[in-house]
Amino acid sequence: MSDKAVTYISYLKIDELLDLQQPLSDGEHDEMLFIVIHQTYELWFKQILHEVGALQPALEAGDTHRSLALLGRIRTIMKTCVAQIDILETMTPLQFNSFRGRLSSSSGFQSAQFRELEAVLGRRDHAGASADKSSGMGMAEHLIEGSPARLRVEAAMNRASVWDSALRYFDSRGWAMPAEVLGRDVSVGYQDHVGVQDVLVEMHRQDPEAGMVAEALLDVDEGLQEWRYRHVKMVERTIGRKPGTGGSAGVGYLASTLFHPVFADLWAIRSRL
């Protein structure tokens, strides 16, 4: 009985949340918008990772309805992330430049949650030949070595991706996937597979429920590509071809990430359906 009643403010930690926006510039009006937008992105990335954490077990358990609900929610969150770019684009280049110098070495490359999401979806850029073109480094190596954030990304690159879980889902419904695909080394990036595509074509024709899951996965893939494209154009509109913050290659690198589907097999079968 002595416990304080839960209120809107205490449950959502509103006071703490609203104390997290701390501009570095002296009175530059637009820095607040920049901070709020990016903090909101991080909250949405956290929620997407939370949803994906439930999606993979649902797929591997063969739970069609649960999987469709989770995929639909992820796609809707991605649409919201894309829409936020409209707000950020109300900031002109001059307004951004008024505080940009204070960002120092900070960069979107350091968003551990987005890196983790990429890894969960199947990206496997380790240091070396497959590393980021912006720096020659693997995608986790923009993060502090040994930090919890970097360890999460590295762990995600060494466990089954969403596509691996999807392949198990399809296989469990009687659509036998090639053994070398199901038993592959999940720490290595997946390569599109003609044998998988052959099975997916027949699955779409004969198994409407599994086909709906495949299309929902494609919705998520398209949503991620849409976000990348809008992000590239927003950055180009704001800083042109100048280097990005933190020494990144800016628009040049971001543009190189476009049109690389997460679920390549699902795109490849379009011309065969």
Task: Give me the pLDDT at residue 242, please.
Answer: 65
User: For 259-272, how does the pLDDT look when each residue is reduced to its tens digit (9 = 90+)?
Assistant: 789 999 999 999 99
218 HSE (CA, 13 A, CB side): 14
Distance of CA 269 to the CA centre of its chain: 23
Q: How confident is the model at residue 136 (pLDDT cuts 50, 70, 90)?
A: very low
Task: Give me the pLDDT at residue 252, please.
Answer: 58
Query: Closest Cα to residue 167, out of 191, 141, 142, 146?
Result: 191
The residues spanned by each domain of the chain are: 28-97+163-272
Average pLDDT of the segment spanning 222-234: 91
User: For 2-55, how does the pLDDT look when each residue is reduced to its tens digit (9 = 90+)?
Assistant: 567 899 999 999 999 999 999 999 889 999 999 999 999 999 999 999 999 999
**CA angle centred on 50, ends 142 and 76, rounded to 5°:** 100
Calculate what percentage of the chain has a pLDDT beyond 90: 70
Residue with tokens 């999987």: 67
Task: Give me the pLDDT at residue 130, please.
Answer: 44
Calculate what percentage of the chain has a pLDDT beyond 70: 86
Single pTM value for the model: 0.88
How does the average pLDDT of the chain come out, rounded?
A: 89
> CB-based contacts of 213: which residues, under 8 Å, 6+ apart?
59, 64, 67, 68, 71, 166, 169
Tokens of 219: 């919705």
How far apart CA 130 and CA 256 sit, in angstroms, is: 13
Q: Of 121-135, 211-225, 233-247, which gets the smallest average pLDDT?
A: 121-135
Average pLDDT of the segment spanning 64-91: 96
For the cut 50, the answer to whether the pLDDT of residue 190 exceeds it is: yes
Q: Domain 28-97+163-272 - what CATH class? A: mainly alpha
Q: Which residues of 89-119 are buried (b: 16+ CB within 10 A; e: fewer)?
A: eebeeebbebbbeebeeebbbbbbbbbbbbb
Top-confidence residue, 244 or 144: 144
How far apart CA 5 and CA 15 sit, in angstroms, is: 16
91-94-98-103 Cα dihedral, nearest 10 degrees = 70
- DSSP assigned state of 61: T
Q: How confident is the model at residue 101 (pLDDT cuts 50, 70, 90)?
A: confident
